[in-house]
Structure 1
Amino acid sequence: MATQLKNLSDFSNTTIPNAGAYRFGIVVAEWNAKITGALYEGAYQSLVDNGTLEENIFTYSVPGSFELTTGADILLKNKNLDAVICLGCVIQGETRHFDFICNAVANGVSNVSIKYSKPVIFGVLTTDNEQQAEDRAGGKHGNKGVEAAVTAIKMADLNKQLHD
């Protein structure tokens, strides 16, 4: 596996724009709270570390990953934001529920992004087990929340560049 020995949250080979001029929403799933909390901490800190003012980060919780799409839609409808980060964790179980949730969330996030012409970032872990989730929420493979925040910054900056 390509990720086995790799920290996926290494951005040393890319430039991250200053995020001081941007406003971000973060929607966090409460289900698998230990994992989503770690994703949130990574995303929030990355936004701040890259210049976002704390008062320009709007955080809301939703019950589970399935509700991330609706949360992002509500945020974009009611707040003037440059991007929304959706953070969740779906761990494979014994039924096909995993497949339905993952597909619905991925499609929903894309649809909300298209609906508002704003970046809506898919920061959802879809893992086979809890250990894989922990490895990607601040563990040996980095923090997907950090990656989602950097993606949000870069996409907000791209959107601004093309609209100025």
Structure 2
Amino acid sequence: MKIIEGKILSPKSKIAIVVSRFNKSINNNLLDGALNTLKRVGQVKDDNITIVWVPGAYEIPLIVNILSLKKFDAIIALATIIKGNTSHFEFISSSCSSEISSISIKNSLPIIFGILTTNNIEQAIERSGTKLGNKGIDAALSALESINIIKYIKNI
């Protein structure tokens, strides 16, 4: 019986992180968590990490799609979408989620959805480094593990 589990160490991996400037203070916390995890836990070198800032979450799928054609082992998408009084939240959240998933599957590339979709700013703050941890850390761990699972499967 073969059991495949990804390891976290991935020092030679090339990873892109796409980050929204909208809600930048929260997204900076997500980015800090992701970077710290990639470098300290995954031992990914600075030269192998590319950060791309975009205006908002809606622009992330386009940039992720372009980056997916480059030589990255994984892409991490980081943003914060906070529900307001209009249906804008649903359109942006749904579009980002489905497009990122589609690009990932189409290219057999781990694209990690580190986009917070919250009802209010308090929930966003809790998920970016306080009570509920930092979802940027979780996204980085998912990227590292996915990279190694894919490498293992390709070598079977």
Q: TM-score, normalised by structure 1?
A: 0.88
| 2:25 paired residue number | 34
List gaps (5 residues or longer) in structure 1: 1-13
Report if the CA contact (8 A) 2:6-2:149 is conserved.
no
Runs (4+) of structure 1 exceeding 4 A deviation are: none
| 2:48 paired residue number | 56
Distance 2:101 2:65 in 1: 11
Report if the CA contact (8 A) 1:16-1:150 is conserved.
no
Aligned residue for 2:22, secondary structure, equals coil
Q: Percent identity?
A: 37
Q: CA deviation at 1:66?
A: 1.0
AA paired with 1:76? S
| 1:125 paired residue number | 116
List gaps (5 residues or longer) in structure 2: none
Distance 1:15 1:60 in 2: 26
Aligned residue for 1:72, secondary structure, equals helix
| 1:135 paired residue number | 126
The reply to whether residue 22 of structure 1 matches residue 27 of structure 2 is no
- Structure 1 residues 15 and 109 mapped into 2: Cα distance closer, same or farther (>3 Å)? closer
Report if the CA contact (8 A) 1:27-1:59 is conserved.
yes
AA paired with 1:22? S
1:26-53 CA distance string (max 9 Å, x none): 0001110011111001001100012111
Q: CA deviation at 1:16?
A: 4.5
AA paired with 1:60? V
The reply to whether residue 152 of structure 1 matches residue 136 of structure 2 is no
Aligned residue for 1:81, secondary structure, equals coil
1:57-99 CA distance string (max 9 Å, x none): 011011111111111111122x311000000000000001101
Distance 1:37 1:75 in 2: 21
In the alignment of these two chains, the number of paired residues is: 150
The reply to whether residue 69 of structure 1 matches residue 61 of structure 2 is yes
AA paired with 2:48? N
Aligned residue for 1:43, secondary structure, equals helix
Distance 2:7 2:120 in 1: 31
- Structure 1 residues 129 and 143 mapped into 2: Cα distance closer, same or farther (>3 Å)? same
Report if the CA contact (8 A) 1:42-1:143 is conserved.
yes
AA paired with 2:111? V
Report if the CA contact (8 A) 1:29-1:65 is conserved.
yes
